[in-house]
Amino acid sequence: MTGLVSPTLGRFDVDRAAERRSDDAWLAQAWADGRVLVLTEKGEAPIAEGKDGPSLQWRDTSGYADDIERVFLGIYEDKPTFVIGGKRDIKADGWMDLRAVGEELSPEHAALLVEAVAITRWHDSHRACPRCGAPTEYVEAGWSTQCTNDGSRHFPRTDPAVIMLVHDGADRCVLGRNEAWPEGRFSVLAGFVEPGETAEQAVRREIHEEVGLRVTDVQYVGSQPWPFPASIMLGFIARVEGSEEIVRNDGEIAEAAWFTKDELRESKGIKVLPTPISIAHHIIYGWLDGELS
Ligand SMILES: [Zn+2]
């Protein structure tokens, strides 16, 4: 029986209070009473350094215009919580992006930051109506937009991607090195789900495209949002079936090989494995520890 991984960015369920998104009177009062996270264009957040590690630094909303474009993230610690775009014009111990600080934040702050980054990135790249090109405006507390010309509604997108460990049913798994990575850096295989296929089909297709293997026993092991720029990573493990010879067919992978558990533990031929912010880390170590099989 396959277990599930517990990825770093998915350990806390934010109360998004979605039923409030259409309640304009409530939202106006919530903005007045609430607090806000400022994110820069690069996705950096103000960070406070404390004895328990870094935390997000909230701001009072009183310094901002009542009609500023904002997204209601939900209710956290009984406070309505929002995100806005801004500059590094407030005092903070540091400004860090999700990749840099995500694994050091509490589960609550990591979940709020990934939500804030994901919805903000969608807004930043979808300013115009895809039908007619006119500007759009925020509606539903920032969880959709509406065209100012034709009134069409547009909803945030999340692109599904699969990420998967191929094993041999025993002691070995396949890791690959992306052509953009330095020598010695390895991870599990990954790729986007294409229109018209299931996640499991995407797993089988991507593995065959990237390393020429056929797999069976494809099992889901968990998911994690990955807003770089707009993905949800769907984690799987799969067992090789038939030939175990790796044949690279695809230009994205510079090299790929079978590794034993001892080789992974002793970093033989491997300099860098994924860090805990990525679901890849949890899949690899879950398999190494025998929690996924
Ligand atoms: Zn339009």
Instruction: Compute the distance from residue 139 Cα to the ligand 1 centre, in Å.
Output: 14
Task: Give pLDDT, residue 252.
Answer: 84
Which CATH number do you get for residue 40?
Answer: 3.90.79
78, 66, 72, 24: CA torsion to nearest 10: 90
Strands 44-50 and 53-56: antiparallel
237 and 201 part of one domain: yes
Domain count, the chain: 3
Domain assignment present for residue 1? The answer is: no
151 and 194 part of one domain: no
Instruction: Compute the distance from residue 123 Cα to the ligand 1 centre, in Å.
Output: 15
Instruction: Compute the distance from residue 136 Cα to the ligand 1 centre, in Å.
Output: 7
Final residue in a domain of this structure, among 125, 143, 177: 125
Domain assignment present for residue 40? The answer is: yes
pLDDT tens figures, 200-211: 999 999 999 999
139 and 229 part of one domain: no
Final residue in a domain of this structure, among 72, 106, 125: 125
Burial tier of 239 (Cβ tally within 10 Å: 0-12, 13-18, 19+):
middle
Instruction: Compute the distance from residue 164 Cα to the ligand 1 centre, in Å.
Output: 39
119 and 72 part of one domain: yes
Q: Identify whether the C-beta of residue 206 lies closer than 8 Å to the C-beta of residue 162.
A: yes
Domain assignment present for residue 293? The answer is: no
Task: Give pLDDT, residue 149.
Answer: 98
Instruction: Compute the distance from residue 128 Cα to the ligand 1 centre, in Å.
Output: 8
Instruction: Compute the distance from residue 133 Cα to the ligand 1 centre, in Å.
Output: 6
Sign of the CA dihedral running 14, 279, 4, 201: positive
For residue 210, give the 3-state DSSP assignment.
helix
219 and 197 part of one domain: yes
Final residue in a domain of this structure, among 82, 107, 125: 125
Domain assignment present for residue 177? The answer is: yes
ipTM for the whole complex: 0.99
Task: Give pLDDT, residue 128.
Answer: 96
Instruction: Compute the distance from residue 63 Cα to the ligand 1 centre, in Å.
Output: 33
Domain that holds residue 146: 126-157
Strands 79-85 and 35-39: parallel
147 and 240 part of one domain: no
Mean pLDDT of residues grouped by 10 in the chain (293 residues)?
A: 86 98 97 96 96 95 92 98 93 95 97 98 95 97 98 97 97 96 96 98 97 97 96 98 91 92 91 95 96 89
120 and 174 part of one domain: no
Domain assignment present for residue 27? The answer is: yes
Domain assignment present for residue 2? The answer is: no
Task: Give pLDDT, residue 250.
Answer: 64
